Amino acid sequence: MAKIHATTVLGIIHNGQVALGADGQATMGNTVAKSNVKKVRKIGEGNIMVGFAGSTSDAFALVEKFEEKLNMYRSNLRRSAIELAKEWRTDRYLRRLEAMLIVMDKEEGLIISGTGDVLSPDENILAIGSGGVYARSAAVALKRHAPQMTAEEMVREGLNIAADICIYTNHNLEIITL
């Protein structure tokens, strides 16, 4: 059975604003399986956002694990992300999971991968998924040349540009803010 995968998730911290968004497309092979998947959400007490790319069921399992880490480390985003990455890399079950996460709070954003990476990207622009490079490129240009835009506007425009280019990304966007 083909795995559901491919997407675009983009997060930006800009001028004290935080926004995270994703398209809604899920594919199975070369077919659109669903067009309105919710890939971003607020967790904890609503002060942390998470977005995912990759296998949907794997991502849900990782989000649950991340929430456990947040509870264990009193909502410390960085510590929770590092502990999840360590467990993800070493646990026999978890290391088979195929997904990536973006986690954000008011202060920082991190990308977490199954290879043990916890990255804090340059310019507070975080992107994952098949259209991530397109969305990130658009967001970098917007942040540099249109700084009057809000973080939410930059995320929306970056995702729309990615959807115009990446066949695994659609224009059915969901964007959340802190």
Q: Which of 7, 8, 56, 169 is catalytic?
A: 7
Closest CA to 60 of 75, 39, 46: 39
Q: Respond yes or no: is residue 169 known to be catalytic.
A: no
DSSP letters along 97-143, please? --EEEEEE-SS-EEEE-TTS-EE--GGGEEEESTTHHHHHHHHHHHH
> Sheet containing 109-112: which strands, arranged edge to edge?
40-43, 48-54, 99-104, 109-112, 118-119
- The DSSP letter of residue 168 is T
- The DSSP letter of residue 69 is H
Contact assessment for residue 111 and residue 92, using Cβ atoms and an 8 Å cutoff = no
Active-site positions read 7
